Structure formats: structure tokens, C-alpha cells
């Protein structure tokens, strides 16, 4: 069984049947994540020597689309582990890798990727969370918001300012922060529009004492490090969005074939058929952009603009496809518990996280000009 078939089978058997309940209860599905860990679906591009699958970016985006077709929140967790696992594999010491990677990739240890702050989202240069030296270690103070897994994380990769004069030009560093440490508070647990099984909340760090070995990578190299994984992260969200689009197309097509009005299936009305055609075209075009970006990253080529194009197009296409699915289902598409209604809500965040559509347009335009 190839990778696509394996993930597609897992999504059909373990994820899709649970999606409605997970959306309703907002439950953290630890059992699904453990199953993904057993299949090697966490850390797709993390080297085998570090416990990962040693796959390509092309493999990663394939996994993300198939998982998202099952339920986007599950793919979101895969993307989170991919980013944190990649940073650990690339910048971690042998001891850090030994401490965090095995359980993280097995799906039994929960991570968070703590960048965003009340006044710093797209502009990471405006971070105010501060880590200052204290003897052999560090004292961490600040607040992070809208952090995936914050309510359940065992540890967080936290980006903090270590030199206020330099900031993103050599004044930011990454830290591995165990959430059980004194001074770490899980500030809130957000209630979200969509992708409701993805736990989102905040951290408050009040003079948290960190040991010297909590520093991930070199001091001052944090901003560049997190930027180094953003292109892969954007492709992952593009693939997640495209999984939503494919699910929307399939549920709309099934409804159009079975729903009869004026004596025939509504699929036979040109207005509905053309809408399905537009949905299929959006999905296919997004997939080609995503694959092109993955090929560039796998070939160590400049992929910045292409990854931004893929993320921009796929995320905005998911808004269009899910809206069309709701329209084709009519009143049924507006009812909680119907797949099209959930997909419509799940798609909305894809134009915002991992860089808003506006940020992607900025990156693309700068590459042109």
C-alpha cells in the first residue's frame, strides 16, 4: 500500500466517522493521534536518524490533504508536529532530541508553537516576550495568544526577545518550555468558529526560570530559524485547505446526484453542474501549485513566492468551494451536523493562519517588483 492509500484508508476508517462528534464536543482526539504516530504520520520530513519518516515535502503535502479530507483539525495537528519536529531535528542538541522527539513523533507528547502575541502576529519583529539571562539559565516573561495546543501541550517552542536592541536581526531566540514549570499559566481556552477539535489558547510566562539547555539552537538565531520552516508550513496549510475543498466537492456532488427537483436530479441543471465544475477546477489548480512548491523545496530551490501563491490560492479556493457546497445543498447546507456546514466553518481560518492572504500577496508582489 502506497502512502496516499495508507493515509486515505486511515482517514476513512478513523477520522471521518469521528469528525462530527469532534466538531460538536471540541474534544482532543488523543487516540487518533496515537494511531497516526504508530503509522509514522508525524514528522514526515524529519530524518529517520531522528525518528522521523525521512520523507519529502511532496510526501508531507500528500499526507496533509488526505488527513484534512477526513477532518481539518487532525491535519492541523500533523502540521504543528511537522514544524516543531523539523526545528528540533535541525537545531536541537542530542539531549533535546532524545528528550522530546520520540514521544512527540509517537503522538504521545503534545507540543505548542508559541509565536503570536497581542501586538505581534504577522509582524514577529514586534514581539515583547522577553528572555533574559539569570546565572546559568534564563528568566522568561511575556504572553502568547491564539496558540495551537496551548490548553493541552506538554511543552512549547517559544520565540522570545533576548536582545531588545537587535530584535529580529539577531536578538530573538527559541526556547523549549515545559508547561508544568512554575510561572507558566494556560491563560484561556478559545471557542472557535471551525476546526473546533484543534485546541487553541494562550500562555502567560511570569518569571519562568529556564535551564541553559532550554535554548533551542544558537542565541539570537531564533527569528531566522522559525522563518526557515515557514514555506513548508504554508504548503502544509495549502494542502489542508485543498483537502477541505475536495471534501466539499464530493459532498456537493453526491447531493446534486441524489436531490431531485422539478422531476430530475439537480445535477442536471446547468447552474449546479457549472458550480461543481468550478469547484473541481479550483481543487485541481491548487493541487498543481502545491505540488510545484513541494518540488521546489525538495530540490532546494527558491520556493518563497510559489509557496505563498499555493497558500493564497488554495485557502481562498477553499472558501469558494465550501460556499458553493452550502449553496448546492440549499437549506440542508445550513444545518449543524451536515458536512457542508462544518466544512464552510473549517475553511475560514485557512486564509488567516500561517500568514494571512494579505501577507502572501505582499510576499508575491515583492518577488515580482
Annotated catalytic residues are 354
User: How far is residue 129's CA from residue 352's CA, in Å, rounded to a whole number?
Assistant: 22
The string over 164-184, giving b where at least 16 C-beta atoms fall within 10 Å of a residue's C-beta and e elsewhere, is eeebbebbbbbbbbbbeeeeb
User: In a 3-state reduction of DSSP, which class is residue 358?
Assistant: helix
What does the block give as the cell for 214? Answer: 532550554
CB-based burial label for 154 (10 Å; 0-12, 13-18, 19+): middle
Neighbour count for residue 133 (Cβ, 10 Å): 11
CA 134 – CA 142 distance, rounded (Å): 16
* Residues 227, 57 contacting (CB under 8 angstroms): no
Asked if residue 194 lies in contact with residue 340, where contact means CB atoms within 8 angstroms, the answer is: no
Q: Which of 85, 179, 161 is nearest to 124 (CA)?
A: 161
What's the farthest any 2 CA atoms get from each other in the chain? 80
Query: Which helix or strand (DSSP H or E) is residue 274 part of?
Result: helix 270-298
What does residue 212 show for φ and ψ, rounded to 5 degrees? -60, -35
Q: Can you tell me the distance from the alpha carbon of 281 to that of 105, in angstroms, rounded to the nearest whole number? A: 35
CA 169 from chain centre, in angstroms, equals 26
Amino acid at each position: 500500500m502506497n502512502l496516499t492509500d495508507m493515509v486515505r484508508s486511515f482517514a476513512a476508517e478513523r477520522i471521518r466517522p469521528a469528525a462530527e462528534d469532534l466538531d460538536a464536543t471540541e474534544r482532543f482526539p488523543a487516540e487518533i493521534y496515537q494511531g497516526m504516530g504508530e503509522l509514522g504520520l508525524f514528522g514526515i520530513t524529519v530524518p529517520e536518524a531522528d525518528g522521523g519518516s525521512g520523507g519529502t515535502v511532496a510526501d508531507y503535502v500528500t499526507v496533509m490533504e488526505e488527513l484534512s479530507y477526513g477532518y481539518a483539525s487532525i491535519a492541523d495537528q500533523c502540521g504543528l508536529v511537522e514544524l516543531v519536529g523539523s526545528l528540533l531535528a535541525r537545531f536541537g542538541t542530542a539531549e533535546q532530541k532524545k528528550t522530546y522527539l520520540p514521544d512527540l513523533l509517537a503522538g504521545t507528547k503534545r507540543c505548542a508553537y508559541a509565536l503570536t502575541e497581542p501586538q505581534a502576529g504577522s509582524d514577529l519583529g514586534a514581539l515583547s516576550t522577553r528572555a533574559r539571562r539569570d546565572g546559568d539559565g534564563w528568566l522568561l516573561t511575556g504572553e502568547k495568544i491564539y496558540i495551537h495546543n496551548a490548553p493541552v501541550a506538554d511543552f512549547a517552542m517559544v520565540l522570545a526577545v533576548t536582545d531588545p536592541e537587535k530584535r529580529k536581526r539577531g536578538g530573538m531566540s527559541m526556547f523549549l518550555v515545559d508547561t508544568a514549570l512554575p510561572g507558566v499559566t494556560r491563560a484561556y481556552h478559545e471557542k472557535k468558529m471551525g476546526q473546533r477539535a484543534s485546541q487553541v489558547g494562550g500562555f502567560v510566562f511570569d518569571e519562568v526560570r529556564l535551564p541553559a539547555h532550554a535554548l533551542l539552537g544558537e542565541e539570537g538565531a531564533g527569528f531566522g530559524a522559525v522563518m526557515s520552516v515557514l514555506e513548508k508550513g504554508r504548503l502544509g496549510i495549502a494542502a489542508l485547505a485543498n483537502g477541505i475543498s475536495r471534501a466539499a466537492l464530493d459532498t456537493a456532488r453526491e447531493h446534486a446526484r441524489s436531490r431531485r427537483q422539478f422531476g430530475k436530479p439537480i445535477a442536471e441543471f446547468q447552474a449546479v453542474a457549472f458550480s461543481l465544475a468550478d469547484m473541481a477546477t479550483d481543487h485541481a489548480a491548487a493541487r498543481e501549485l502545491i505540488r510545484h512548491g513541494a518540488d521546489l523545496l525538495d530540490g532546494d530551490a527558491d520556493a518563497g513566492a510559489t509557496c505563498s501563491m499555493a497558500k493564497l490560492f488554495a485557502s481562498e479556493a477553499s472558501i469558494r468551494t465550501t460556499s458553493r457546497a452550502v449553496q448546492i445543498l440549499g437549506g440542508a447546507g445550513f444545518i449543524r451536523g451536515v458536512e457542508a456546514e462544518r466544512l464552510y466553518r473549517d475553511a475560514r481560518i485557512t486564509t488567516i493562519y500561517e500568514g494571512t492572504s494579505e501577507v502572501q500577496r505582499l510576499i508575491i508582489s515583492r518577488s515580482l517588483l
